[in-house]
Chain A
Amino acid sequence: MGTLYEDMVAYGGEVFGKEHMETLRECVQCGKCTGGCPSGRNTAFRTRKLFQMALTDMREEIFNSPELWFCSTCYTCYERCPKGVKTTDLIRTIRNLAAKEGHMSVPHRMIGVYVLKTSHAVPLGPAQMELRKAVGLDEMAPTAQKYKDQLEQVQTIFKTTGYDAMIDFDWDTMNLKGMDKGGKK
């Protein structure tokens, strides 16, 4: 494990390319990202500050703060950054590193639960099924949510990659472990 910056370049570099990740060092702290952040308007998410914390290697503070998960990945700051810092992709990389070390927000883990249970992050619910029926369609769309053998394939991928363990998934209750006791960090 190196500094957070080094880890971001190494880990995120595999997906986005190293140069993409290295743009973090070009940040001039102008604040245009925070200033235009739609999420930061309603939450405590502070993009510019997050990057300064990443550059000063405040790994634990970032990983333990719930704000890291408030970015909606809308790419507004990415489009506007005057220095071409690949903001959103950097945030996603920090999240991946945090998740690997067991820091992942409950709502994000719950999305994993949906995928494990239905193979969809946003599965068809009763209301949508009603709507489909009303227009003369099959209640279920012909996707993995409908076909159990396909769902099993998705679940196999999750098991093989260890994603189920990473989000603390309980195969007995088909939910996060300890969710009945109000959830775990």
Chain B
Amino acid sequence: MAEEEEYDYTKIPPTGSVEGIAAGAPEDSPRIGVYVCHCGINIKMVVDVEDVTRYAASLPNVVVARHYIFMCSDPGQDLIRKDLAEGRVNRVIVASCSPRMHEPTFRKTCSDSGLNPFYYEMANIREHCSWPHGDFHKEATEKAKELVRSAVARSALLEPLEEKLVDVKPEALVIGGGVTGMYAALDIANGGYKVHLVEKKPSIGGHVAQLSRTFPTLERVASLLTPRMIEVGAHPNIDLMTCSEVEEIGGYIGNFDVKVKRKPRYIDMEKCKDCTPCIEACPVKDIPDEFNEGLSTRSAIYIPFPFAVPPAYTIDAEHCLLLKEGKCGDATLETIKEGKAVPPCMAACPGVIDFEQKDEIEEFTAGTIIVATGYDLVDPGVSAEYKYGVYPNVITSMEFERLLSPGGPTGGKIELNGKEPKDIMFISCVGSRNKQVGNEYCSRVCCMYLAKQAYLAKEQLPDADVKVAFQDVRAFGKGFEEFYGDVKTEGVFYMRGLPGEIYKKPGSDRVVVRGENTFIGEPYEQEADLVVLGMGLAPNKDVKSIISMLKLSTSVDGFLMEAHPKLRPVDTATDGIFIAGCCASPKDITDSIAQGKATASGSLLYLVQGMAKIEPAISQIDEEICIGCARCVDVCPYGALELDEVRHVMTVNEAVCKGCGGCNSICPSGAATMKHYRDRQVYAQIEALTEITDVGMLAELESAATAAVAAEASAGAADTGSEAGEGEGAETEAVPGAE
């Protein structure tokens, strides 16, 4: 269109202003200043900002309209500050980007100049105009004007609000005792504040404790982790709760009420000397050892691993004969009480084992919460063609870690059924980057742990043939690419292409890996006696209750969702609740620790200040109107509403309410309204957008819409349908039988 070609954004000057029609309005009436931003060229290359400015100046209550190249810059904000200082305006509207981007910026500009920040309003003419309608200069400009018009209509009706402060209990809750939670807890504890660290398993350390060595530096994990674990266990500021699970969380920032269930260990931890006679005595010895990924067995009384913290034994209630079946040998709970028969463990270690221990509920208040619940390894059965569980030669990468670990089932020797493998094949991307198994994401750590494992295999078995079948090698971290080069120089052969299938070599205990070397473009059949599947990381399945207790969101991949993927990576939508480590997305030890420490920093921000601001744009009950029907209680997702039984009206817990508006829309009497989103403010906005200023007409439209969706299509609605059908390009849903 010729008309559109005429618009040349390069001719628009960097700034300009137009006096508004309300320039002479009295001081105590709304005096609105509209500031239109070019966002460099992001807005002005599509939207005619000069035109929008002129239009804004023509709207009711507008005193001045200005446009500027970057409103968020200091000189841009100075335009607002100057107008406020001179008393020229008492309402501010910036037409620029999303409020998620710069609402805090401009609210602060206002409050610094003495204006209540809730007199600030925003029109989003970038995300809503210039970006999505890049090819439609004219229409985008019109839409920008409409958005400004609606902001102006709302602005005149805004009310000042006061931000409230709540006290913050100077204690933090960390859920998850893996490396992420440990570092978060240590930083807060070292900062001088109390931390409640809740771990489900009998020991802290998480998955990292299971690993052999780190990439790319090849340091022994046990020697890196043990000092930190001991520090956590002994720290005077850390209340370590192992074998424990969070049962209930209520409250709000600064005052989260937490209930933790401590499961019994059936051991007096003070007296347990970490020796072995009880293990030898226990008759149940065939339980797959979780720490060794089932490659070895343990007894029902056990210590998860030698460097466990706390260094105490636990009785596994699911397998202990006395706890499960009520009888171990001649002993029952009664015989123990009566001092007659005792089970073998008690006989071997008198005075330490106590079968009378019960679940204990511990309650406390925490100012902030850090969720560091980690990950699950993907189920290796998802890629059935690799025959995990069918052929013993096929193992997971975590199982291989245990074979590499000096504390593992083979004492660190790579062997399967006592035999050293001669041909080892590693396969990358099993259960990640795979739509068929439902995990589209990259697990980030597999490339490098496979490189490390292949390197360690070659180091231990120099004569073995070690190959890695890969689709890409992502060596993005510090020292990763160099390490990848070293691994290949050591003689590990990298073969591009994901294998198609694995089958047993007839008449042998070896398997054949069939795939394509995509660089050559030909299939191969490679014999191997050990195949290691590079398993991906999946969201932890056991944290569903924590997700619902804390009202956390998850992304499409199932991992916990951060408040902003770039700018707020460890915050959540709820103030005072943070996420860190692999519960948010797969990451390596370095990144997990960095996030753990980041959440400690976020927590300390509140703990140090001892108070937190709470959102003032929340629900308000008009007690004159409220009938106490409590329908709002059913829709409130935060439990913020309570019935005052005496006065029979609803009350809002202002610290708990998040301002979602559910009560506002369900309230039959109109008693529940939202501060900063009053009905009249929202209606003014809608009316301005639809250019309907006659409220009576709006009511008419409403009733027409209701009639149209009513089950019985009335004759009137049918007329509307057929009339619309005759109009050019009308897309009204025709009422059946209207013609």
Does A95 belong to the interface (CB within 8 Å)? no
Does chain A have a CB within 8 A of B344?
A: no
Whether A31 contacts B385 by the Cβ 8 Å rule is: no
Quick one: closest B residue to A85, CB to CB? B435
- Chain A, interface residues (CB within 8 Å), range: 20 to 34
Does the CB pair B523–A40 fall under 8 Å? yes
- Identify the interface centre among B498, B515, B522: most chain A CB within 10 Å of its CB: B498
Is A167's CB within 8 Å of the partner chain B? no
Q: Within the complex, which residue of A31, A36, A81 is in contact with B501, where a contact is CB–CB below 8 Å?
A: A36
Q: Are A30 and B498 in contact (CB under 8 A)?
A: yes
Chain A residues with CB under 8 A of B471: 28-31
Contacts of A33 in B (CB 8 A): 500
Once A36-B385, A41-B523, A82-B434 are accepted as A-B contacts, the answer to whether A48 and B516 lie under 8 Å apart by CB is yes
**Docked complex Cα distance between A46 and B515 (Å):** 11
Cβ contacts under 8 Å, B472 to chain A = 28
A34 is an interface residue with CB less than 8 A from chain B: yes
The answer to whether B433 and A36 touch across the interface, beta carbons within 8 angstroms, is no
The answer to the question of B387 belonging to the interface, with a C-beta cut-off of 8 Å to chain A, is no
Minimum CB distance partner of B429 in chain A: A82
Task: List, in ascending order, chain A residues with CB within 8 A of B434's CB.
Answer: 82-83
For residue B522, which residues in chain A have a CB less than 8 angstroms away from its CB? Answer: 46
List residues 426-446 of chain B with CB under 8 A from any CB of chain A: 429, 433-437
B357 part of interface (Cβ distance < 8 Å): no
Q: Which of B384-423 contact A (CB under 8 A)?
A: 385
Q: Could you say which of B498, B514, B515, B517 contacts A82, with CB atoms under 8 Å apart? A: B498
Asked, given contacts A41-B523, A48-B516, A49-B521, whether A31 binds B436 with beta carbons under 8 Å apart, the answer is: no
Whether B496 contacts A84 by the Cβ 8 Å rule is: no
Contact of B498 among A35, A37, A40, A84 (CB under 8 A): A35
Point out the residue from B435, B499, B517, B521 that lies within 8 Å of A32, measured CB to CB.
B499
Residues on B with C-beta less than 8 A from A30 are 429, 471, 497-498, 518
- Within the complex, which residue of A31, A36, A40, A41 is in contact with B518, where a contact is CB–CB below 8 Å? A31
* Contact A36:B514 (CB < 8 A) given known A30-B471, A31-B498, A80-B500: yes
CB distance from A77 to the nearest CB of B (A): 8
Measured between beta carbons, the chain B residues less than 8 angstroms from A49 are 521
Question: In this assembly, does A61 line the interface, its C-beta being within 8 Å of a C-beta of chain B?
Answer: no
> Distance (Å) between the CB of A115 and the closest chain B CB?
33
Interface size for chain B: under 10, 10 to 19, 20 to 34, or 35 or more residues? 20 to 34
Q: Chain A, 19-62, contact with B by CB distance < 8 Å: what is the 0/1 string?
A: 00000000011111111110011000010110000000000000
What are the residues of chain A within 8 A of B436 when measuring CB–CB?
A: 79-82, 84
Q: When chains A and B are docked, how far (Å) is the Cα of A31 from the Cα of B470?
A: 10
A69-91 interface (Cβ within 8 A of B): 77, 79-84
In the assembled complex, the Cα of A31 lies from the Cα of B435 at a distance in Å of: 16
Chain A residues near B501 (CB-CB < 8 A): 35-36
- Give the distance to chain A from B495, nearest Cβ to Cβ, in Å: 10
Specify the chain A residue showing the minimal Cβ separation from B513: A35
In the complex the two chains form, what is the Cα distance from A41 to B501 in whole Å?
12
Task: Name B499-522 residues within 8 Å CB distance of A.
Answer: 499-501, 514-518, 521-522
Residues of chain A lying within 8 A (CB to CB) of residue B383: 80
Task: Give every chain A residue within 8 A of B435 (Cβ-Cβ).
Answer: 81-84
Of all chain B residues, which has the CB nearest A47? B516
Residue of B nearest to A46 (CB): B521
A35 to B503, CA, bound (A): 12
Chain A residues, CB < 8 A from B499 = 32, 35-36
Chain A residues, Cβ within 8 Å of B498: 30-32, 35, 82
Chain B residues near A40 (CB, 8 Å)? 523
A37 — nearest CB in chain B belongs to which residue? B500
Chain B, 449-476, contact with A by CB distance < 8 Å: what is the 0/1 string? 0000000000000000000000110000
- What's the least CB distance linking B85 to chain A, in Å? 57
A79 to B500, CA, bound (A): 11
Query: Given the complex, which residues of B lie within 8 Å of A41, measured CB to CB?
Result: 514, 523
Choose one: B429, B500, B518; the contact of A29 (CB below 8 Å): B518
Shortest Cβ distance from B473 into chain A, in angstroms? 13
Contacts of A31 in B (CB 8 A): 471, 496-498, 500, 515-518
Q: Mark B518-543, 1 if CB is under 8 A from A, else 0.
A: 10011100000000000000000000
The docked-state distance in angstroms from the alpha carbon of A34 to that of B497 is 9
Closest B residue to A35 using CB positions: B500
Report the separation of the CA atoms of residues A49 and B496 in the bound assembly, to the nearest whole angstrom: 14
Q: Residues of A contacting B385 with CB < 8 Å?
A: 36, 80
Taking CB as reference atom, which chain A residue is nearest B495? Answer: A31
Instruction: Give B384 Cβ to nearest chain A Cβ, in Å.
Output: 9
Provide the residues of chain A in CB contact with B433, threshold 8 Å: 28, 82
A109 → B minimal CB distance (Å): 29
| B338-386 residues at the A interface, CB under 8 angstroms | 383, 385
Q: Which B residues touch A32, using CB under 8 A? A: 497-500, 515
Instruction: Give A41 to B514 CA distance when docked, in angstroms.
Output: 9
Chain A, Cβ-Cβ closest to B514: A35
B735 CB, nearest partner CB in chain A, Å: 31
Q: How far is the CB of A41 from chain B (nearest CB, A)?
A: 7
Taking a contact as CB atoms under 8 Å apart, the answer to whether B500 and A34 are in contact is yes
The distance in angstroms between the C-alpha atoms of A49 and B497, with both chains bound, is 12
Of chain B, the residue at the smallest CB distance from A49 is: B521
* Candidates B429, B437, B523; contact of A35 at CB < 8 Å: B523
CA distance A84 to B521 in the complex (A): 21
- With contacts A80-B500, A82-B434 known, is A35 near B515, CB below 8 A? yes
9 interchain pairs, CB-CB under 8 A: A30-B429, A31-B497, A31-B517, A32-B497, A34-B515, A35-B501, A35-B514, A46-B516, A49-B521
10 nearest A-B residue pairs (beta carbon): A36-B500, A35-B500, A31-B497, A35-B515, A31-B516, A34-B516, A82-B434, A84-B435, A30-B471, A31-B518
**Given A30-B429, A36-B514, A82-B437, 20 more pairs with CB closer than 8 A:** A28-B471, A29-B471, A30-B471, A31-B498, A32-B497, A35-B514, A35-B515, A36-B500, A36-B501, A37-B523, A40-B523, A46-B516, A48-B516, A48-B521, A77-B500, A80-B436, A82-B429, A82-B434, A82-B435, A82-B436
Using a CB–CB distance below 8 Å, which chain A residues touch chain B? 28-37, 40-41, 46, 48-49, 77, 79-84
